[in-house]
Amino acid sequence: RKEVEQDPGPFNVPEGATVAFNCTYSNSASQSFFWYRQDCRKEPKLLMSVYSSGNEDGRFTAQLNRASQYISLLIRDSKLSDSATYLCVVPQGYNKLIFGAGTRLAVHP
Amino acid sequence: NAGVMQNPRHLVRRRGQEARLRCSPMKGHSHVYWYRQLPEEGLKFMVYLQKENIIDESGMPKERFSAEFPKEGPSILRIQQVVRGDSAAYFCASSPLASSTDTQYFGPGTRLTVL
């Protein structure tokens, strides 16, 4: 089993849609989690941190289910500018980030 | 406050040549990480360094790859005798602390192409 697994993409949605991405992780000892966003040929940028059951920031909501070792990212009212690859990230130890392969989102008019 | 800087942004090498990638962390950050992203894949951890020390190199290939973070100057990722399979984007990240909750800030990456 991979350390971090994500929904296969791509997700093609119209503007205004709500879309959810799933991520599972294998290390039950993991305490913190991140969602990063990566635009084509650019560096990853932190979107949200998740330390407890969840986190909400505007149109973005991240939820954590420790029992199932599952993290989700919900995007409401999708914008064209949300088109990107979303990376589920689980730190290992103090310093090593383990990245999922990413889920590609394409928002169309 | 400048972010993480990497240079060059693009690097072309022929098989057998050496590639040197440079990373200057954000001001005040003493922890540097290198990640590699192969085409159509996720980022993979390579190495974690503090000033003058390699802390974790568990993701580094055993041969041809080395990294350093000297007391003065940028961190360097060095790839000797490059092969086509080394073609990838190499991202550097930095953080002020070494903590699983601490955000790592990424540089723009160096895209290495091996001909």
Cα atoms in the Cβ-side hemisphere of radius 13 Å centred on B23: 34
Q: Which two tokens stand for residue B25?
A: 């962390």
Using a CB-CB distance cutoff of 8 angstroms, which residues of chain B are in contact with residue A31? Answer: 100-101
Q: Which of B95, B100, B108 sits opposite A43 (nearest CB)?
A: B108
CB B108 within 8 A of CB A103: no
pLDDT of residue A93: 78
Q: Which two tokens stand for residue A73?
A: 């990212």
Q: Is the pLDDT of residue B1 over 60?
A: no
Using a CB-CB distance cutoff of 8 angstroms, which residues of chain A are in contact with residue B105? Answer: 46
Q: Is the pLDDT of residue A60 over 70?
A: yes
Average pLDDT over residues A55-69: 92
Could you read off the pLDDT of B12-33 as tens digits, one per residue? 999 999 999 999 999 988 899 9
Is A97 near chain B, with CB under 8 Å?
yes
CB A94 within 8 A of CB A29: no
CA distance B107 to B44: 15
Could you read off the pLDDT of B38-67 as tens digits, one per residue? 988 889 999 999 988 999 999 999 899 999
Amino acid at position A26, single letter: S
pLDDT of residue B40: 80
Of B21, B29, B22, residue with least CA distance to B3: B29
Rg of the Cα atoms in chain A: 13
| Mean pLDDT, all residues of chain B | 92
**A16: Cβ–Cβ under 8 A, 6 or more apart, which residues?**
A77, A78
Strands A84-92 and A103-108: antiparallel
**A9 vs A102, higher pLDDT:** A102
Could you read off the pLDDT of B78-113 as tens digits, one per residue? 999 999 999 999 999 998 876 656 788 999 999 999
Which of A2, A30, A32, A43 would best serve as a mutation to test chain B binding (most B beta carbons within 10 A)? A43
Could you read off the pLDDT of A3-42 as tens digits, one per residue? 899 987 899 999 999 999 999 999 888 888 999 999 998 9
Distance from CA of B41 to the nearest CA of A (A): 6
